[in-house]
Chain A
Amino acid sequence: MFEVEVAEAAAGWGRSPTCQIRDLGRIGYAEAFELQRTLVEQRKRGEIADQLVFVEHPHVVTMGRNGHAENVLASPEVFERAGIEFHRTDRGGDVTYHGPGQIVGYPIFDLREWKRDVVAYVRGIEQVLIDTLRAFGIEGRRVEGATGVWTDQGKISAIGVHISRWVTSHGFALNVDTDLNYFRYIVPCGLTKPVTSMLVAGSTASRAEVIVELKRSFGRVFNRYMENL
């Protein structure tokens, strides 16, 4: 029997669609943004499968299309002195901070192949994060009217998405052992609620361990076969 590699190649018949995973490690916001744009175009043309890109950004504050300038609490000079970049961007949501110790996930996902429902997609991302946190003994939950994932100590993960022709970009940011002091430069998502991290919630899980769990949860929630690139 031709059981070896071609059979493997073909074993995908009827299997869940593939989602390919890339972990790019530390990468600048602008560079990651360009990469997302490229992947979105390729995804729209059907040249690539769904993608889940993991990155970690250097200190950066980003503001979504619906962002309010008053939620940025520091002047450009202060940002510059603190070594924080500032970007306006095209995702949904208000102002947020990304930095070391935070896992940023960018799913490039064609919703035509999954429910065609942007709200269900956001709820799905929340579920992925809740399931992941549970694996590390942290009880995450949704808060009505405030997209993201929350714990008793505050917001642990932020979500902001852009969609073009049903293909998603941007995504979520999960605070693993982020230095939460950087959030004082902004009003995260325009909400005057505290932010927290997995470390504060009592977990000492590493970035790599959390990514393994994120992949697993993502595959389960979105019914995707997760393939490492």
Chain B
Amino acid sequence: MIDVVMPQMGESIVEGTLTKWLKKAGEHVERDEPLFEISTDKVDTEIPSPSAGTLQEILVEEGKTVGINTIVGRIADGQGAPASPVPAAAQPPAPPAPAAPPQPQAASAPAPAPEAAIVEETAGPLSPLVRKMARENNIDLAQVKGTGVGGRITKLDLDNYLTQRSGAAPAAQPPASFAPPAPPPPPVAVQAPVNVPLPPPPAPPAPMSYGASTRIEPMSMMRQKIAEHMVFSKRTSAHVTTVHKVDMTRIAKLREKVKSQFQAQHGFGLTFLPFVLRATITALRQYPVLNASIDGTNIIYHRDINLGVAVALENGLIVPVIRNADEKNVVGLQRAVVDLAARARSRQLRSDEVQAGTFSVTNFGSFGSVFATPVINQPQVGILGVGSVDKEPVVVDDAIAIRSMCYLALTFDHRLIDGALADQFTGKVKSVLQEWAEEVM
């Protein structure tokens, strides 16, 4: 039997009015299906069922106002008493630990509904105080032996349990902010030797307790997807990054010359990015293995060049794809970038516009980064990171000149591509950019 309780809809809220049962006693309810409605101060809230089963009992009638955590009804799950305690639906997911790699947790359970009632399977009813203590201290009540009437768990039991827990394992429940960071991803040395042992699979997230100074916020769907993909990619590919220094002076001059005319003619600005994309396409044609994927022990060469271009969003990032990018000139590539970035921002991309990429480019240079080590967008085998273009003193023919310099960082999958090839590829991108010859853009 599962207790359904009056949820707390805010810090200052101590009670709520049950305005409507959306299910009758004896009726079946699915987990997360709206079960009843409550009202607090001109706000009506639907409360989803914490569990699937039959609404066995209604303990609080419509129109009654009760304190939070009051049991308002009971649900029988239809399979008798569960053998194991039902996971506390209200337990928040672990917050992302800063500086630690994201820990996969999405697979274990969907993010619990925030307003899901608190569910605990224990002997006898629990007082609101005990529930609150258990929640705040993240206690699994199944682990606590009740000494009250009928085995009921009392505050004293929890006090004892907490003392025991902190005595037995002082470091077992560190506050989240002091948790030792999980091992950082091994630094990826350029041209790392192949025999680097794989890092152990990330440990399941340790239970954490939260102090009053923390704020818990579930990840957005997009964040969860990004986290999942990043770890998946790191686990899948042998990431190595190689960095080349490129002289962009020629392109800077060309861009300077045509900039205002370009803006007037096309209605959008001309950046360095389409030049880099164009050079990348040329290099991909010459080294098609960078435009490939791995499938088991097969290499899949893609005839089309579909370039992914990373676009940062306010809460995440997305990589829209320029299909058949090799059919476009600089103007066409710039137009595609402007269009995709704008629609990515207003969330109007079609799903096919983020699929089927064969190689990706990311330009962290726009944030001032000189170079970074990007993560491969699976199932691709390479991603080119473009650093900022800055004027620098450079030695040219034994004289010091001012040139517009830029670092290109190629992260490649060492399973398929060796360092020599990666450097030939990046060298090709570099030489196309340095010796830019296309008169017509």
A interface vs B, CB < 8 Å? 1-10, 12-13, 15, 17-18, 20, 45-49, 64-66, 90-93, 112-113, 115-122, 147-148, 159-166, 225, 229
Contact = CB atoms under 8 A, between A and B. Distances in A.
Contacts of B39: 65-66, 92
Given A6-B341, A65-B20, A229-B346, A160 B42 contact: yes
Interface of B: 9-13, 19-20, 34, 37, 39-46, 48, 113-115, 217-218, 220-222, 268-273, 309, 311-315, 337-338, 341-342, 344-347, 363, 365-367, 386, 388-390
Given A64-B44, A92-B39, A117 B268 contact: no
A9 B41 contact: no
Nearest to A13: B312
Nearest to A225: B314
Contact of B114 (A17, A91, A121, A166): A166
10 contacts: A5-B341, A9-B344, A10-B311, A10-B367, A117-B9, A117-B11, A118-B13, A161-B42, A163-B44, A165-B113
Contacts of A66: 19, 39, 44
B48 A165 contact: yes
A13 B311 CA distance: 11
A163 B43 contact: yes
Given A112-B217, A117-B13, A6 B337 contact: yes
B365 A161 contact: no
The 4 A-B residue pairs with the shortest CB-CB distance in the complex, in nearest-first order? A117-B10, A10-B312, A12-B314, A46-B221
Contacts of A93: 42
Contacts of B114: 112, 116, 165-166
Contacts of A91: 44
Contacts of A12: 312-315, 345
Residue of A1, A48, A49, A120 with most chain B CB atoms under a 10 A cut-off: A1
B155 to A, nearest CB: 26
A2 B342 contact: no
Contact of A46 (B48, B222, B311): B222
Given A10-B366, A10-B367, A118 B19 contact: no
A225 B12 CA distance: 27
Contact of B12 (A10, A46, A112, A117): A117
B115 A92 contact: no
A118 B40 contact: yes
Given A91-B44, A92-B42, A2 B271 contact: yes
A93 B270 CA distance: 54
A64 B11 CA distance: 25
A119 B41 contact: yes
A120 B13 CA distance: 10
B41 A122 contact: yes
A70 to B, nearest CB: 16
B366 A3 contact: yes
Contacts of A18: 314
A17 B315 CA distance: 7
A92 B366 contact: no
A1 B45 CA distance: 49
Given A1-B272, A2-B386, A13-B314, 10 more contacts: A6-B271, A6-B311, A6-B337, A7-B367, A90-B44, A112-B218, A117-B10, A119-B10, A166-B115, A225-B314
A17 B341 CA distance: 18
Nearest to A117: B10
A166 to B, nearest CB: 5
Contacts of A159: 42
Contact of B365 (A2, A47, A65, A166): A2
A19 to B, nearest CB: 11
Contacts of B271: 1-6
Given A1-B389, A48-B347, A9 B10 contact: no
A45 B221 contact: yes
Given A3-B366, A46-B221, A161-B43, A118 B10 contact: yes
A218 B219 CA distance: 24
Nearest to A94: B42
Contacts of A119: 9-10, 12-13, 40-41, 43
A146 to B, nearest CB: 9
A155 to B, nearest CB: 13
Nearest to A119: B10
B17 to A, nearest CB: 8
Nearest to A93: B42
Contacts of A148: 42
B111 to A, nearest CB: 9
Contacts of B313: 9, 12
Nearest to A168: B43
A105 to B, nearest CB: 14
A1 B19 CA distance: 58
B10 A116 contact: yes
B341 A2 contact: no
Given A2-B363, A6-B311, A117-B12, A122 B345 contact: no
B9 A118 contact: yes
Nearest to B390: A1
A9 B45 contact: no
A165 B113 CA distance: 7
A2 B272 contact: yes
A18 B46 CA distance: 25
A165 B345 CA distance: 25
Contact of A115 (B10, B40, B43, B386): B10
A161 B9 CA distance: 13
Contacts of B48: 165
Contact of B367 (A5, A13, A64): A13
B305 to A, nearest CB: 20
Nearest to A42: B347
B40 A9 contact: no
B74 to A, nearest CB: 23
A49 B44 contact: no
B41 A65 contact: no
Contact of A9 (B217, B268, B345, B388): B345
Residue with the highest number of chain B CB atoms closer than 10 Å, among A64, A66, A121: A66
